[in-house]
Chain A
Amino acid sequence: MIELRNVSKWFGDFQVLNDCSTKVAKGEVVVVCGPSGSGKSTLIKCVNGLEPFQKGSIEVDGTSVGAKDTNLPELRSHIGMVFQNFELFPHIKVIGNITLAQLKVLQRDEKQAGEKAHALLERVGLLDQADKYPAQLSGGQQQRVAIARALAMDPIAMLFDEPTSALDPEMINEVLDVMVELANDGMTMMVVTHEMGFARKVADRVIFMDEGRIEEDCTKDDFFGTPRGARAQVFLSKILQH
């Protein structure tokens, strides 16, 4: 479904991604972790072309992301993305946040889009918040709306960039629960997160990044059992402490 081959990226002289290769098969859940600044966000943003990359190739569902003639907006409309800071549109009500792209990108009619939005809001437990503005919602609620907004496009895969790290601790689980459910429903997911509980529960594979490199790329059991690199071990012992 998603395939990265030898992807390298520079910001000026600084190399953020160094020869990264990995695959995410259909229905697979891959967790990406690693220290701050290791390039996780950059890597995941390359997958839907939000960040350009200079070397290597990325294919999503058979389409090359980096190719000049690729219609990126069209490709992105099939890939859901959830951000650390939710990034709901503050000037539009919750319901509008979920219908806007359905109407303008997928050309659904008002009725279809509205029904879809309501069904998804119900699924994330926020049906009663439809007519509020994002700022009136808690962080956890906003992130669940953001997930509903992405799902409304019927994506073939979902990308998450630290979806719970901007949340107060008591709100983390309400978002993780939605994500676990999604994983169990067979969604293809690439998730940057440090929530190892989530990784243990639903991940098929875990990728560990450090200084722009994919240092570990292994099954969940291998990763939590016997990580091969010393850096991954140090990293794991740090985040598993709390």
Chain B
Amino acid sequence: MLGNFDWKVVTDNIPFLWQGMQITLLLTVIAILGGIFLGTLLALSRLSGFKPLSFVAGTYVNFFRSMPLILVIFWFYFLVPLLLGRPVGGFYSVLIAFVLFEAAYYCEIIRAGIQSVREGQVHSGQALGFTYAQNMRYIVLPQAFRNMIPILLTQAIILFQDTSLVYVVGVKDFLVSADLIANRENRVLEMFTIAAAVYFVLCLSGSLFIKRLQRNYVQ
């Protein structure tokens, strides 16, 4: 049956698919970086002894973790232009949605990472005269992130897959590009097979890489 596949439709459209993949990758990378940055601030807020701050951060996290991602994407697609008073395009609205959404998940990962650093290390930094901020910056966070690398990468793979949800607002990522070609050329089977294969290969290599990293890490 695969013999009837018209691979030419794939090879002909590689540049177009690559454009889509660039959007997917860009979205993934910015959502990871933005999510980790905002997630770190949220984690520090949640752990802070200042009750109002930890309450606000906690509410934020619980709110986003209770929302389906697809709803958040929709919501920001309509909300952001309203807030700014001008259209911003689908890409920027999903970018904001992903960063804000992912930050909630990264917050919890980072919070656990910070708590995984032994109290003795915190004391030892304090005893040298580091301020709270310096202790976080030089002693706690570097160790926390080192402990978190495998789980942060796993989250990145999930995020990479989740970016395909931008389909619902028509941002031309990899999957949407494949879909466009599929409909234009009437080659649905070929295009969705190749799309699945690409996601599978990338995510599987990512997972294997993490496994190896963890093995080396434990030794």
Residues of A within 8 A of B (CB): 45, 48, 50, 72-74, 76-81, 83, 85, 87-91, 100-101, 104-106, 149-150, 153
19 contacts between A and B (CB under 8 A): A45-B123, A50-B126, A73-B129, A73-B131, A76-B129, A77-B129, A83-B123, A85-B120, A87-B120, A88-B124, A89-B138, A89-B143, A91-B143, A91-B146, A104-B138, A105-B129, A105-B130, A106-B129, A153-B128
Shortest Cβ distance from residue B118 to the other chain A in the assembled complex, whole angstroms: 8
Q: Give the residue of A74, A79, A89, A90 whose beta carbon is less than 8 angstroms from that of B127.
A: A79
Shortest Cβ distance from residue B173 to the other chain A in the assembled complex, whole angstroms: 37
Shortest Cβ distance from residue B26 to the other chain A in the assembled complex, whole angstroms: 31
Is B121 part of the contact surface with A, judged by Cβ < 8 Å?
A: yes
Is B52 part of the contact surface with A, judged by Cβ < 8 Å?
A: no
CA distance A146 to B143 in the complex (A): 18
Residues of B within 8 A of A (CB): 120-121, 123-131, 134, 138-139, 142-143, 146
**Additional pairs, 8, CB under 8 Å, beyond known A72-B126, A76-B129, A81-B123:** A79-B127, A80-B127, A87-B123, A100-B138, A104-B138, A105-B129, A105-B130, A153-B129
Shortest Cβ distance from residue A45 to the other chain B in the assembled complex, whole angstroms: 7
Contact A89 B139 (CB under 8 A): yes
- Chain B residues with CB under 8 Å of A89's CB are 121, 124-125, 138-139, 143
CA distance A72 to B129 in the complex (A): 8
CA distance A78 to B142 in the complex (A): 25
User: Which B residue's beta carbon lies closest to that of A159?
Assistant: B127
CA distance A45 to B123 in the complex (A): 9
CA distance A90 to B127 in the complex (A): 16
CA distance A76 to B124 in the complex (A): 11
Contact B130 A73 (CB under 8 A): yes
Contact B128 A101 (CB under 8 A): yes
Q: Top 6 closest A-B pairs, CB basis?
A: A77-B129, A87-B124, A81-B127, A101-B128, A105-B129, A87-B120
Contact A76 B120 (CB under 8 A): no
CA distance A101 to B128 in the complex (A): 6
User: Which B residue's beta carbon lies closest to that of A100?
Assistant: B138
CA distance A104 to B127 in the complex (A): 13
- Chain A residues with CB under 8 Å of B142's CB are 91
Contact B129 A74 (CB under 8 A): yes
- Chain A residues with CB under 8 Å of B130's CB are 73, 101, 104-105
Shortest Cβ distance from residue B127 to the other chain A in the assembled complex, whole angstroms: 4
- Chain B residues with CB under 8 Å of A150's CB are 127-128
CA distance A113 to B125 in the complex (A): 17
- Chain A residues with CB under 8 Å of B146's CB are 91
Shortest Cβ distance from residue A152 to the other chain B in the assembled complex, whole angstroms: 9
- Chain B residues with CB under 8 Å of A106's CB are 129
Shortest Cβ distance from residue A136 to the other chain B in the assembled complex, whole angstroms: 14
- Chain A residues with CB under 8 Å of B126's CB are 50, 72-73, 76
- Chain B residues with CB under 8 Å of A87's CB are 120-121, 123-124
- Chain B residues with CB under 8 Å of A50's CB are 123, 126-127
